[in-house]
Amino acid sequence: MHGSAAGERVQLTRDIPFASHGGVSLMLDAYLPADDRIHPGIVLIHGGRWARGDKQDLAELATVFADHGFAAFSINYRLVPDWPYPAPVEDVVAAVSWVREHATQFRLDPKRIGAFGGSAGGYLAAMLATSGRGSLKSGGRVAAAASWSGPMDLGPLLSADDPALPSAVLSLLGCGEPTGCVAAARAASPIRYVDATDAPLLIANATGEVIPVDQAVAMAYAYRSADLSVELLKPDNTEHGLHNMAELLQPTLAFFGRFLGGPGRHTELVPISPERSPLPSPSPRSTVPRPTGVPPRSTSDDRGGSPAAPGEPLLMLAGVLVVVLGASQLAVALRASRMIQGVSERNAGQPSHS
């Protein structure tokens, strides 16, 4: 392990071991804001079809994150074909757990750790967002994740027109041919693990790139159906992963700023255009079409509670008026409240014309 300067505002320490498997030592590089405050953290995961790449590939981006107040950790993981699924997923989970356990050493808030990845790394970031259940503040779970061009449903990619996609998926799964790997692909897909306990997710996928954009759309739909926070970005170009840096960096910084916060120096929120706006929460009146191949989900609400009774919002308003007007006009406010309640009850008994 050795350190080197990344700039006046960022401290860099390279080659910190965080796990070892079968003689393979896994390392990370830590990019820390050069101050004494406690920071949220982000684990960065490189791409390369799960078969190549290195933590150094994300050095520039890690420096940007650190300069914006995040403790950034660029990690390595075991590569295929020597180490097929689930080894890469196990390694990124181990990295998050290790970083959390060493939070004091890195001036890190262990309850605010996110994950970022592009391409194969985007897939692994999405797996971090969806794997496991329970608190997002412990173990190998993350509080937010951003995936640029990450495959979300591996099954359809086995029959993709671009031969590079089936080849990469088969290599990840350790399979020889597509027809015998459908079940394995399904079991290794982030979209299959979405549940109500998952982390907020930013999904970015260009409309004309190698990863079909319907992968991102289907994942966003699954998130919405589970009443989870999701933001879908669809740049209208053919750029893949980190090649879309100019288009995606500021919205991604803003996303992490919203869900991880900051040490007092928060990321400036970037205005989001309508086509990039966060997807709304699902509701009983939702008319969003279900993407092809996504099974229907139950629309029942298991969060408990009862709908507001007719007139309750108006009565609450009348109560606020009491406080504002003062005790001297209490009688007037009470009469207004009773009148409003009576009108609301009469209206509630009339048929709707909407």
Task: Evaluate if residue 51 carries a pLDDT over 60.
Answer: yes
Strands (DSSP E) found in 51-165: 71-75, 108-118, 144-148
Tokens of residue 24, six digits: 């393979």
Q: How is residue 43 annotated by DSSP? A: E
Q: Which one is predicted more confidently, 323 or 311?
A: 311
Q: How is residue 347 annotated by DSSP? A: H
Task: Evaluate if residue 265 carries a pLDDT over 90.
Answer: no
- pLDDT, one tens digit per residue, over 122-159 is 999 999 999 998 899 999 999 999 999 999 999 999 99
Whole-structure pTM value: 0.75
Maximum separation of any 2 CA atoms in the chain, in Å: 83
Instruction: Identify which of 272, 195, 217, 208 has the alpha carbon closest to the alpha carbon of residue 238.
Output: 208
The C-alpha R_g of the chain, in whole angstroms, comes to 24
**170, 88, 205, 154: CA torsion to nearest 10:** 30
| Residue entry with tokens 């030592």 | 25
pLDDT at 330: 37
Q: How large is the average pLDDT for residues 184-195?
A: 98
HSE of 205 in the Cβ direction (CA atoms, 13 Å)?
25
Q: How is residue 264 annotated by DSSP? A: S
Alpha-carbon distances of 26 from 5, 45, 129, 171, rounded to whole Å:
22, 13, 21, 21
Instruction: Tally Cβ neighbours within 10 Å of residue 115.
Output: 33
Please provide the distance, in angstroms rounded to a whole number, between the alpha carbons at the two ends of the chain.
68
Question: In this prediction, what percent of the chain has a pLDDT beyond 70?
Answer: 72
| Residue entry with tokens 């937010």 | 144
pLDDT at 348: 41
pLDDT band at 56 (very low <50, low <70, confident <90, very high): very high
pLDDT at 4: 54
Residue 199 near residue 139 (C-beta atoms within 8 A): no
pLDDT at 262: 87
Q: How large is the average pLDDT for residues 239-254?
A: 98
pLDDT band at 302 (very low <50, low <70, confident <90, very high): very low
pLDDT at 8: 82
Q: Which one is predicted more confidently, 335 or 146?
A: 146
- pLDDT, one tens digit per residue, over 277-288 is 333 333 222 223
HSE of 118 in the Cβ direction (CA atoms, 13 Å)?
23
- pLDDT, one tens digit per residue, over 82-100 is 999 999 999 999 999 999 9
pLDDT band at 310 (very low <50, low <70, confident <90, very high): very low
Instruction: Identify which of 129, 150, 120 has the alpha carbon closest to the alpha carbon of residue 52.
Output: 120
Which range in 253-257, 273-277, 316-320 is most confidently predicted, on average pLDDT? 253-257
pLDDT at 354: 31
Residue 77 near residue 115 (C-beta atoms within 8 A): no
Q: How large is the average pLDDT for residues 56-66?
A: 98
Task: Evaluate if residue 298 carries a pLDDT over 50.
Answer: no
pLDDT at 345: 42
H or E stretch at 315: helix 312-325
Mean of pLDDT over the chain:
81
Q: How large is the average pLDDT for residues 33-62?
A: 98
